[in-house]
Each structure stands twice: as structure tokens, then as C-alpha cells.
Structure 1
Amino acid sequence: MNFDWQMPRDPFADDPNDPASFLEDEEPLPPLTDEERVQIEQDLKLVAEFKRVLYPRGIMGVFFYCEDCQENHYYDWDIMAANMRSTLAGELSPVHEPSAEPRPEAYVPWDYCLGYLDGLEAPRF
């Protein structure tokens, strides 16, 4: 796996007692279809645009509701982009932890970001 300088270093890197070392190797990721690759590339461009427009307004990233744990998960713009680049490279997304105390008001849903960009491009009457 390539190290992404924007991601924090794995706290268990080089630790012979890394708890993950006891897990069995996962199956390799199936290759992306052409359609999946195009969609992720488009989403990566959107993340860059979201960050450009929303970060100066105090929006740090997006949140997604997790059906498994029934909680919101918060992702900074750079983490989103790093995850997408990993997927495009055929790698698992790097392990990351959200902020210990994320400020929920600084994160918005993906659809909010799309709507915000659409609003900026709407004709003014």
C-alpha cells in the first residue's frame, strides 16, 4: 500500500504485536469496472470543488450515516480524496480515525454539497 502523506501514520506500524497481524489476509479487491472508475474520478473532482468552495466557509468535510453502527461518520475533505485515490489504485482505503471530538456542525451531507454547487451555478434573475 502506498503511504499517503495526508493520512496519519498507522499507530501500529512496525509493531510486531500489531493486533491486525492476527487477522487473515483479505481477498484482493476486484478490479473496478470502467463505469466505477469514471464515477470515482468524477467524485474526486467534486471533493476538490467542495473543499475549494465550502472549506473557506467553515465546512471541514462530509458525514455519512452508518447503518451498521447507526451513527454518523465524519470525513475531512483530504481523507475523502485519499480514500478515493486508494480505491482508484486498487488498494484498500488507509486506516483512519475521525477526530476525537468532531464538530458535527462543521460537516454536511454529500447531497448538501451537490446542492450548494448547483446553487452557485444557478442563473441569477
Structure 2
Amino acid sequence: MNFDAMMPRDPFADDPNDPASFITDDDPYDHPEPLSEEERIHVSQDLRLVMEFKKVLGPRGIEGVFFMCEDCEEFHYYDWDIMAANMRATLAGELSPVHEPSAQPNIDAYVPWDYCIGYLDGLEAK
């Protein structure tokens, strides 16, 4: 289904001072730095972990992870699929896809990364 016709008109349409018009192809955010081999290995390992977290914790009601944002000093909540998409984009040398987190996430359904690691470790303990 195409929702373009349902979208509001661009508030900067036909505006010569459209902020987007000042973005150039030289923008460093358009072309992320290539990963080193070590960084590539770490992102690949984290992607495998995210997939395992989703498989193990998803059925238990855990929807993703949260992190404290150093810029705004608030928690940000990321679903498993958003985390995986961001990591895949990084591995492909692309910018992470634009996503909008839930306006009112169920904060009880998100846990810290270290909790996820500990949970998997606990499952493997004998």
C-alpha cells in the first residue's frame, strides 16, 4: 500500500531556504568510515548475540535493549530487529536505517545489554 498521498505536504516544499538543500554529497554522515577488521569482527559477534537474545528472550516478553544516551542523558529503547538492522547496515558500510522508536515503549520489556549476556551465560552454566 502506498501512503504517500496520505502524507502531509512538505513544509519546506518550494522554499529556497530548505535546510535539506544545504546538505552536500561531501557530508561525512553520508559515507561512514569503513570498519577495521577488528571492528567488523566485533559487530558480527554482536549481531549474532542480538539474534540469540531475540530467540531466547523474545518469547519471555523481552522486546529489546536500552542504553543511556550520553547526549540527552535519557534511556533509548531498541527492539531486536532495529538493533540487527543497524548492525547489518554498519557491516555493509551503510548508514543505519532511519527508525522511530515507540512513543511510549513498555520500559519493562527492555533490559540492559549486560543482562542479556548474563542470561545467556546462565543458560549455558552447568
What is the TM-score of this pair, normalised by structure 2? 0.81
Between Structure 1 and Structure 2, whose CA radius of gyration is higher? 2
Q: Secondary structure at the residue paired with 1:70?
A: coil
How far did residue 67 of structure 1 move? Answer: 1.1
The root-mean-square deviation of aligned C-alpha atoms, in Å, is 1.9
Q: Which amino acid aligns with 1:22?
A: S
Q: Does 1:42 align with 2:45?
A: yes
Identity of aligned residues (%): 67
Deviations 1:77-96 (A, max 9, x none): 00000000000011110111
Distance in 2 between the 1:121 and 1:39 partners? 21
Task: Please say if 1:62 is aligned against 2:61.
Answer: no
Q: Which residues in structure 2 correspond to 1:1-125 (within 5 Å)?
A: 17=12, 21-25=20-24, 26-27=27-28, 28-123=31-126
User: d(CA) in 2 for partners of 1:44 and 1:35?
Assistant: 14
- The structure showing larger relative contact order (alpha-carbon pairs under 8 Å, at least 6 residues apart) is 1
Question: For residues 23 and 73 of structure 1, do their structure 2 counterparts lie closer, same or farther at Cα, with a shift above 3 Å needed?
Answer: farther
- Cα distance in structure 2, aligned partners of 1:22 and 1:116: 48
Alignment: residue pair count: 110
AA paired with 2:96? S
Structure 1 residues 101, 34: closer, same or farther in 2, change over 3 A?
Answer: same
Uncovered stretches (5+) of structure 2, i.e. residues with no partner:
1-6
Quote how far apart the aligned CAs of 1:35 are: 0.3
Task: List gaps (5 residues or longer) in structure 1.
Answer: 1-11
Distance 1:42 1:23, change over 3 A: farther
